[in-house]
Amino acid sequence: MKLRLTFFSICVILAAAVLIMGRCRSDSKSDLAVKENIPHHNDYIGDQQCKSCHASQYDDWLQSDHFKAMQEASDSTVLGDFNNVSYKADGVTSVFFKKDGKFFINTRGDDGKNHDYEIKYTFGYYPLQQYLIEFPGGRMQATRASWDSRTKKWFHQYAGQKIDSRDWLHWTRNAQTWNTMCAECHSTNLKKNYNIESDSYHTTYSVINVSCEACHGPGKLHVDYINSTAYKEGKKAPDAYMLLNKESSQISQINTCAPCHAVKGNISPDLIASDELLDNYIPVVPNTERFYADGQMNEEDYNYAPFLQSKMFRNNVKCSNCHNPHSGRVYFTTNQLCLQCHNKSYDDPSHTFHAINTAGAECKSCHMPSKTYMGNDLRHDHSFRVPRPDLSVAYATPNACNSCHTDKTAQWAAKAVEKWYGSKRKYHFAEDLIPGSKMDAESEAHLVKLLSDTSVPRIIKATAANYLGGIATESSLQHLLNCLQHEDAQVRYEALRSLMNFSPHQFLNDIAPLLDDKVRAVRIAAADLFSSIPRQEIPSAYASSYTKANAELMNYLLYQADFAHGNVSIADYYMRTGDPGNAEKFYLRVLKKDSLVNLPRLNLSILYNSQGRNKEALQVLETAAKIDNKNPQIFYNLALLQNEMKNPAAAIENFQKALDLKMQDQRLYYNYGLLLHQSGNSSKAIGVLETGLKVNPSSANINYALAYVYLQVHQVDKARQYAQTLKRLDPNNPDYQGLFATLGIR
């Protein structure tokens, strides 16, 4: 009996799809249009056509951030000081000046040297303004040097960071490309028009800024109808050919705002007329990649995901209840905004425990804690939660009390709340979401509770499904399969994504019906799972559905090809489907766009290894290790490859580096322990394996390895101890039956 290390070639690392922005559109048609000879084709006609009938709304819009979202650079639109002033920060000196009536910035470019760049457009207005520079290939880049509209000073975003000109975050690189990162939410009817072969854009828009038709849809049919005999005779047309009106439902309004007020991915340039957001976009759920463990905003998360967690959303509150939809401003800047619905007693010191007319007495201070993004943009969390400093004590999550009382502890704040309101707190989903986010042995029960509790917001149920994918048990698999029947599309979508962590044979028949799901994002996720199995193994009954859903999947993936990490997703797809040539092409495209990113290097090395190109695989991993010497996954993969290349000494060295960098994956302990044993150091091997078992107590692999090594060193009783545990964990695994027989375990 001989154990082998896990092959390097099966350790594939898959990337999540990237996030870009967009907006939904549809053409309206009705019998009335046919009778009155109103053309069916709708089109964008510009805001001036709206002004004569909607003067008040138009005037409000002129004061909005939407109106000033993007403008041509001129003396009336540029706020920054371009009077030959210089600004030095983070190792970069920039000079702002005018020449021949045009605005310029001299700053460090993509070659690491300073150059003069002409400002073509302003981007934003308050509290900061950025500037757009034209580059070859139709792309525009947003400057890092930004103008603080409040303090009238230049400042750097990512303050304190010295950003290499090769870095994805550098202002000339992909993270600051207007066409893919910003444009669709600053202009109306924007078409990215990216050419994948030439890596270039021909981006267009109907109106330069966020105008009337950005929210209400193209206006030609509406104006034709208003000018028609039918309208003058009082004949009604559905919604007067507009997408959004005063009577629009909560979901319709939120879905109109969400494409720009959510972090999400675009599915396709071909938009579907739908009330289901996931037909055109895939919003992120509030997991710990971007949010705190309790669901509070952390990264730049905008408002959609927080708001869907709130009681406000559950009680049918919509954006326009608080915000003037045309100016974007709140109706009141005081607590009166909340008192539109809430009892006046909430504005009393008996509730706030702060003096009237102080910051502590403002509803938003306690229920909408704020955080600064983009260097100076203060934004409020829209989950409207009650402060829970007791959860901060237990789990180190933030709370509104200590965001003001920074000199006090969470324990102090928790005691104050207990004094005011008693020792019992009303249940909040965060009590299960936080421990559920750990994805450890205790997490599953918390996540299952979130899924079963009808009071829990659906977006939190989707997050629970997202986390369940990190718990590889039979019961978590079953709960994910149950989620496939959930009425909420995002729950179904996240459940499908989580099934990536299980073997296809465990779920194939369960996911097949979702290839025909009514929601496009769900169909795409189902097709992505099917792509991981050989085409010939797809049951014939599902072949046609898979072909259609896979076409939607490819359309989705290729739409992300201008974005660095989008190419990782495309390459991963080709790698799964057995197309190594295209997989290599798209991994190399990533590195061209972002030479410092290592995920494609890890996967590219796996691809090279699968083709027997181990020298190239080794070179790729060694480059990755030079770029990031704190990433344990790189050293783990290096060790696997070096062992395969008959260099056990180097493999042992790199396994140890991965361990020193706190990697806790059970495969590390298993492979490292076995290699140590095979190299004659059984004592250290046992130590590594037993340490791994403490971290991963339910690991069948580690129990198997320990039983095997102890048997090899003739400590049969200890070998039997671990084999008996293995028998409980995985009694029917054919790979273990020889060990059981040798040790007399039935």
Which pLDDT tens digit goes with each residue over 255-293?
999 999 999 999 999 999 898 999 999 999 999 999 999
Instruction: Please determine, for residue 84, whether its predicted confidence score (pLDDT) is greater than 60.
Output: yes
Q: What is the CA radius of gyration of the chain?
A: 29
For residues 490 and 305, the answer to whether their CB atoms sit within 8 Å is no
Whole-model pTM: value is 0.89
Q: What is the mean pLDDT of the chain?
A: 91
| CA distance linking residue 397 with residue 386, whole number of Å | 13
- Residue 34 has what pLDDT? 41
| CA distance linking residue 399 with residue 382, whole number of Å | 14
Mean pLDDT of 144-151: 96
Instruction: Please determine, for residue 69, whether its predicted confidence score (pLDDT) is greater than 60.
Output: yes
Instruction: Please determine, for residue 6, whether its predicted confidence score (pLDDT) is greater than 90.
Output: no
Mean pLDDT of 487-513: 94
Q: How many CB atoms lie within 10 A of CB 609?
A: 25
> Can you read off the two tokens belonging to residue 448?
């299952």
Strands annotated E in 274-375:
281-283, 370-373
For residues 674 and 1, the answer to whether their CB atoms sit within 8 Å is no
Topology annotation, domain 428-562: Leucine-rich Repeat Variant (1.25.10)
- Residue 273 has what pLDDT? 86
Closest C-alpha to 26, from 256, 251, 348: 256
Q: Which residues contact 536 (CB under 8 A, 6 or more apart)?
A: none
| CA distance linking residue 695 with residue 689, whole number of Å | 10
For residues 414 and 389, the answer to whether their CB atoms sit within 8 Å is yes
- Residue 336 has what pLDDT? 96
For residue range 190-218, list pLDDT tens digits in order: 999 999 999 999 999 999 999 999 999 99
> Can you read off the two tokens belonging to residue 433?
């979401």
| CA distance linking residue 548 with residue 553, whole number of Å | 9
Instruction: Please determine, for residue 7, whether its predicted confidence score (pLDDT) is greater than 80.
Output: no
- Residue 584 has what pLDDT? 97
Prior bond of 269 cis (ω within 30°): no
**Domain spans in the chain, listed from the N-terminal domain onward:** 31-63+212-278, 70-201, 284-384, 387-425, 428-562
For residue range 377-410, list pLDDT tens digits in order: 999 999 999 999 999 999 999 999 999 999 999 9
For residues 101 and 147, the answer to whether their CB atoms sit within 8 Å is no
For residue range 403-439, list pLDDT tens digits in order: 999 999 999 999 999 999 999 999 999 999 999 999 9
| CA distance linking residue 42 with residue 529, whole number of Å | 38
| CA distance linking residue 178 with residue 182, whole number of Å | 5
SS3 of 218-273: CCHHHHHHHCCHHHHCCCCCHHHHCCCCCCCCHHHHHHHHCCCCECEEECCCCCCC
For residues 106 and 92, the answer to whether their CB atoms sit within 8 Å is no
Instruction: Please determine, for residue 710, whether its predicted confidence score (pLDDT) is greater than 80.
Output: yes
Instruction: Please determine, for residue 10, whether its predicted confidence score (pLDDT) is greater than 70.
Output: no
Instruction: Please determine, for residue 579, whether its predicted confidence score (pLDDT) is greater than 70.
Output: yes
- Residue 40 has what pLDDT? 61
Instruction: Please determine, for residue 33, whether its predicted confidence score (pLDDT) is greater than 70.
Output: no
Identify the burial level of 420 via C-beta atoms within 10 angstroms of its C-beta, where 0-12 means exposed, 13-18 middle and 19 or more buried: exposed
